[in-house]
Structure 1
Amino acid sequence: MTSANAFPTLQKYLPITGDINLKTPIAYKATRGAARVVDALQMALAEVYINGLEIPDSVFRSMIHTSMPILFKHSPGLLAPYDWVLEESSGIAESSRELMKVQYDRPQAMLNRMLGDWDVIYPKYSTGFWQNGAANLEEAQRHMIDQVIERLGITDGDHILDFGCGWGCVPNYILSKFPNVRFTGLNLSHEQCEYMRHKMQDPNSYLSSGRFTLYEGDLNEAQFDEKFDKILSIGVFCHVGNLTNAFQKLASLLRSGGKVFIHIITVRIPNHMSSGFTHKYIFPHGRYWNYDAVPHHNRDLKTIDRWYMNGTNYHKTLTDWLERFDANQESIQHLEYGMDYAKFRRLWRFYLLLLGTIFATCDGEYNGNGQYLMVHA
């Protein structure tokens, strides 16, 4: 055996380094233990920051830029602190009601200022696309939706399901482009649905055109009178624990010859990724699926094309959100957050700083967005 071939074989016996999926039982167990140690260190940093430790943003970012390339390139198994991160869960979604409470049902005034709220581009809690030369966040979000339109092949007259439609930004923008498109939005967040119901009564909103229908509920329970020409889902699948069951449900809602477009945060490492901090405070039971996970699930839907969106796009988006969040402190600090505002502010800053910096590491080549075009298998 040559030395070039020997090291990959040797790696299965070594803990911490290499692909955790190939480890011997002893090396796997040791790697899982090391992952818990790494997660405990991140949690300790998060807790002291949230509780008042002053760390300059530049120092914080330097710490992330130093550590994450080592983990991405050499020890990706350490980025999965829980066993459930590595495999599918039993249900389509876990902790979904808790997720609405801690993330999506925060004060609308705060979210509007952080995410942006314009005439056609409503608050949108997913990345903008900056690589086409966007000058600002609103333009980056327009470019991102234009990319979805092109890759999904939306044509006038389509009936489209938006699974997890947020505040209705994507349907509103696409309805403004196509006078005969119809949209159905499916959303579990009551507060987001209330925002859209208000827009559905606003004559200046395309959601009031009569071509938008809103369904408040989850994918498991959703029933519709007709099948859809196109289905899109932006960012939701980080909160979906079982791709097999979710794709089976989406396939049942898709007409023959229809197409599904999924846009998710993804990692180009051998395993899926999460963290104790995001699980506890930001995205309960959320995970970033490995870039190959969606194409691997091809029982009911199959991937016919896919794209990787470089993580620098999300880095710029999160950096913009952080700057907007910081700039609006005077107007948002008196809103109701369910905790002392000073603590909430530090928790939110840690979240925006951490994720925004991780996306920028390794020139955005390891942590970014995956986009998948799917049809019936």
Structure 2
Amino acid sequence: MADAAPRILALAEHALSRPFPLRVRAWDGSEAGPAGAPTLVLRHRRALRRLLWRPGELGLTRAWVAGDLAVDGDLYDALDRLSGVVWERGEPDVPAARSGVAAARRALDLLRDRANYRLAGEILSLAGPGLPPAPPPEEVRRRTGIAHTRRRDQAAIAHHYDVGNDFYALVLGPSMVYSCAVWPDEGTTLEQAQAAKLDLVCRKLGLREGQRLLDVGCGWGSMVLHAVEHYGVRATGITLSVEQAAFARERVAEAGLADRIDIRVQDYRDVADGPYDAVSSIGMAEHVGSEKYLEYARTLYALLRPGGRLLNHQIARRPLRDEEAYRIDEFIDRYVFPDGELAPVGATVSRLEEAGFEVRDVEALREHYARTLRAWVANLEAHWQEAARATSPGRARVWRLYMAASALSFERNRIGVNQVLAVRTDPDGASGMPRTRTAWLS
């Protein structure tokens, strides 16, 4: 008899002590759960084995990436419904009593509880015999050594960005900008919104013809191309991604700007040809790490002339009362941004000030990033087969889950994104900046 789904649903509700918010469909064709809800599809009993051998977020992630687990229906709705039982509620430092990890541990405790022996036996029979399934090939293998050395940072960047320029072109669209866009109105397209963001950065930096711009983490070259074409600067873009650099150089050559734009595969710590008039760092500082952030800020400060400006565009997390309790998200660390770290915007401002900068402006763009991510997910879903061929089906599944979940996190104010404008004043304290925000944005 096909009854795997009801049995799985019973386990889930017993573990969570509440109704499970999704419908469940199992590999034997059985279904159970609320009618009309998105359906959690267990395509293979291997999904349960992954959870039994690695309870919590990592087991779920491995099942998703491997294709053993899927969602039939609106992915955003499914993730939103799960947020009440997977994501933490209440104050940031409240124990994760309702988290997915806690729920999975409770489920595993069933195996040691004689009162639940029968139910535990059913789950073991559903999962089937066998050793733990191997992690999907898209997972970062165990790392050794100190985080954020030059070699380890390069490996982390390669994992995230060197997965195929064709894949990113399908997801990002013609703009090839992989950071939060700025949406002036409802009728704005993704490409227009990214152009608006690049122009906003240029205006905040006060770029003028003949100035030197350094773009740290230049991606596929969109920022330096925009700044040179529209503001007449000379630009240097640095990245640790070999594939990004090759793509950016091709774009620069096609635009006939090779004499004004230099694209380098280079660590920010190795740049030694300052001073620059302006530095942009857009979506790069998340890779720096808290232990290295002051070094990063001091390095950029030293590369600027007096009066030079820094525009730091960075994702931020909510602060914790006990900052030592912060842990890097396991899914993000293993599959998306190895060694990546988020900091509260207040900590970012403090480090920049400690390095010598005067912080002049902070602008939150949280809602803009949610809309940007939804546009990227729509691109990925519209070109799913092409995207899977351009990288791997597992990698495409990683990016779909990561971007959809991130969109909801921005919408629910679990994370944010901010542009911080700072200046290196001259020895007498002069900033060279207009006195009002309106003036320097005009």
TM-score bracket for the superposition, by shorter chain length? 0.7 to 0.9
Gaps of 5+ in 2: 1-53, 102-145, 426-442
Does structure 2 conserve the Cα–Cα contact (< 8 Å) formed by 1:131 and 1:313?
Answer: no
Q: Give secondary structure in 1 for the equivalent of 2:237.
A: strand
Tell me the distance in 2 between the aligned counterparts of 1:40 and 1:255.
Answer: 52
- For 1:309, give the aligned amino acid: A
**Equivalent position of 2:132 in the other structure:** none
- For 2:190, give the aligned amino acid: L
For each residue in 1:292-326, what CA deviation from the matched residue of structure 2 results, as whole angstroms up to 9, or x when unmatched?
11221223332422324242211111111111111
**Equivalent position of 1:301 in the other structure:** 356
Q: CA RMSD in A?
A: 2.7
Q: CA deviation at 1:111?
A: 0.6
Q: CA deviation at 1:273?
A: 6.4
Q: 253, 259, 280: which one pairs with 1:232? A: 280
**Equivalent position of 2:31 in the other structure:** none
- For 2:362, give the aligned amino acid: W
Tell me the distance in 2 between the aligned counterparts of 1:252 and 1:124.
Answer: 27
Tell me the distance in 2 between the aligned counterparts of 1:174 and 1:65.
Answer: 44
Q: CA deviation at 1:330?
A: 3.0
Evaluate the alpha carbon distance shift between residue 278 and residue 93 of structure 1 in structure 2; reply closer, same or farther with a 3 A threshold: farther
Evaluate the alpha carbon distance shift between residue 290 and residue 330 of structure 1 in structure 2; reply closer, same or farther with a 3 A threshold: same
Evaluate the alpha carbon distance shift between residue 59 and residue 96 of structure 1 in structure 2; reply closer, same or farther with a 3 A threshold: same
**Equivalent position of 1:284 in the other structure:** 338
Q: 330, 350, 354: which one pairs with 2:401? A: 350
Q: Give secondary structure in 2 for the equivalent of 1:333.
A: helix
Matched, 1:221 2:270: yes
For each residue in 1:319-367, what CA deviation from the matched residue of structure 2 results, as whole angstroms up to 9, or x when unmatched?
11111111112333333x3xxx333332222212221221111xx4x42
Q: 299, 308, 312: which one pairs with 1:249? A: 299
Q: CA deviation at 1:237?
A: 0.3
Q: 306, 319, 325: which one pairs with 1:269? A: 319
Matched, 1:322 2:377: yes
Q: CA deviation at 1:94?
A: 7.8
For each residue in 1:53-81, what CA deviation from the matched residue of structure 2 results, as whole angstroms up to 9, or x when unmatched?
1224121232236754725x4437869x9
Q: TM-score, normalised by structure 2?
A: 0.65
Tell me the distance in 2 between the aligned counterparts of 1:141 and 1:217.
Answer: 25
Gaps of 5+ in 1: 1-38, 82-88
Tell me the distance in 1 between the aligned counterparts of 2:256 and 2:226.
Answer: 8
Identity %: 23
**Equivalent position of 2:89 in the other structure:** 70
Greater C-alpha Rg: 2
Tell me the distance in 2 between the aligned counterparts of 1:131 and 1:274.
Answer: 33
Tell me the distance in 2 between the aligned counterparts of 1:367 and 1:253.
Answer: 30
Tell me the distance in 2 between the aligned counterparts of 1:280 and 1:76.
Answer: 25
What is the count of residue pairs matched by the alignment? 314
1:1-377 matches, within 5 Å, as 41-51=56-66, 52-56=68-72, 57=75, 58-64=77-83, 68=87, 70=89, 73-75=91-93, 91=148, 95-117=152-174, 121=175, 123-133=176-186, 135-178=188-231, 180-202=232-254, 205=255, 207-208=257-258, 210-224=259-273, 226-241=274-289, 242-270=292-320, 271=323, 274-297=328-351, 298-335=353-390, 337=391, 341-361=392-412, 364=413, 366-376=414-424
Q: CA deviation at 1:218?
A: 0.5
Tell me the distance in 2 between the aligned counterparts of 1:259 and 1:344.
Answer: 37
Q: Which has the higher contact order (CA 8 A, sep 6+)?
A: 1
Tell me the distance in 2 between the aligned counterparts of 1:294 and 1:303.
Answer: 12
Tell me the distance in 2 between the aligned counterparts of 1:303 and 1:40.
Answer: 46
Evaluate the alpha carbon distance shift between residue 317 and residue 69 of structure 1 in structure 2; reply closer, same or farther with a 3 A threshold: farther
For each residue in 1:173-209, what CA deviation from the matched residue of structure 2 results, as whole angstroms up to 9, or x when unmatched?
122212x31111111111111012212321xx2644x
Tell me the distance in 2 between the aligned counterparts of 1:370 and 1:93.
Answer: 26
Tell me the distance in 2 between the aligned counterparts of 1:319 and 1:299.
Answer: 36
Evaluate the alpha carbon distance shift between residue 324 and residue 155 of structure 1 in structure 2; reply closer, same or farther with a 3 A threshold: same
